[in-house]
Amino acid sequence: MKTQSYYLDHPNTLRNHLAKSYQIEPPEADSAKSTPPLISPKGQLFAEHENLFTFDGECFRETLPKPAPFVLFGVQSCDLTAIHYQDQFFANDPYYQARRQQALLIGIDCLSPCQQGFCPSVDAGPGVKNETADMILHQLSATSWLLLVCNKKGLNALEGLLLNPANESEFTDRDNRIASCVEQFNDDSYLQQGITAINQNQVPEELWQQLGIQCLSCSGCTNLCPTCSCYGTWERQDSNGDIRRQRFWDSCLYESFQREASQHNPTEEAGERVKRFWTHKFGDNFAQEFGRYGCVGCGRCEQTCPGVVGVHSVMKRIASDAKLDT
């Protein structure tokens, strides 16, 4: 389907229309902002706690979630890119897909850089890519917005809302505005240097170990990272005696993440775990599998890391270390 475009006076017009048939997330109006929230919408699709099945003493029964149709409204390109990434990773995960197929994604173009973001460097923004959303909001002025409808799902959801079609020229203007936003991002050449060093396995083990000392295993980066997907499981007993297995967000930075019952632990050293995390985010092997890096440039890990080993800090250390060496 060719992308269709309309004029919209305000995102709330669309929100109010969609609210007739969907739950809207986040629930607050006027949430369409050009800054991603600290908490990404990851948990709406890959729930932080998810029941997998119950056991009544005889049988195991799968417990798939049955959410009502819902809209993720005003999602920035970094987070939409992450959803697109997880769509692939969880393609065969019935729990994720049960939520995902009920979700309508309304993206929003970012027109100015956010504090920690570097989406242009990892091809994840600031403009929303058509294949990652069902509709896209793009602000033209205080009172005028452009609404792009990317697919049939989006078009169906729009049914009943009368909007004026937009001029063809708006597409070019949008591209220009996004391009000018890209130019406003800080120089982050250290990122490219860091990525190269990681992929060429040139980061000295001592540096990983040093960064490992700073990592408190708080799990903040993995919780906030919109593409992190590791989980653990546990079993709980309901009041009626049934056993319920739940999965919950886990973090590869925990020392116990890989420790086996025998106490053997292939990644006992914190430095190895930190290295693993960044290899997962920027490794070429992963990129080959998913068509892009695992990092979408949101910078949340930098914001939330008490140990100052978020993406900017780590990549700057790697890059400056590499410079010292050469």
Footprint of other proteins on residues 40-79 (CB under 8 A)?
A: 43, 47-49, 52-53, 55, 57-62, 64, 67-68, 70
**Nearer of residues 12 and 246 to other proteins, judged by Cβ:** 246
Q: What are phi and psi of 73, to 5 degrees?
A: -100, 130
Which positions from 248 through 287 interact with other proteins, judged by CB under 8 A? 248, 250-252, 254-264, 266-267, 272, 275-276, 279-280, 283, 285-286
**Nearer of residues 165 and 266 to other proteins, judged by Cβ:** 266
**Nearer of residues 179 and 216 to other proteins, judged by Cβ:** 216
For residue 104, the minimal CB distance to other proteins (Å) is 12
CA distance 296 to 307: 21
Figure out which of the listed residues 289, 291, 320, 323 binds other proteins, where binding follows CB under 8 A: 289
Residue range at the interface with other proteins (CB under 8 A); choices 23-31, 74-82, 156-164, 186-194 = 23-31
CA distance 147 to 108: 9
For residue 25, the minimal CB distance to other proteins (Å) is 7
Which positions from 211 through 240 interact with other proteins, judged by CB under 8 A? 213-214, 216-220, 223, 229-237
For residue 184, the minimal CB distance to other proteins (Å) is 22
Which is nearest to 119 in space by CA: 134, 133, 130, 129?
A: 129
For residue 11, the minimal CB distance to other proteins (Å) is 19
For residue 163, the minimal CB distance to other proteins (Å) is 25
38 touches other proteins by CB under 8 A: yes
Quick note: the x/- pattern for other proteins over 296-315, rule CB under 8 A, is: -------xxxxxx----x--
Which is nearest to 312 in space by CA: 114, 129, 84?
A: 114
39 touches other proteins by CB under 8 A: yes
Q: Which two tokens stand for residue 304?
A: 């939330």
**Nearer of residues 182 and 258 to other proteins, judged by Cβ:** 258
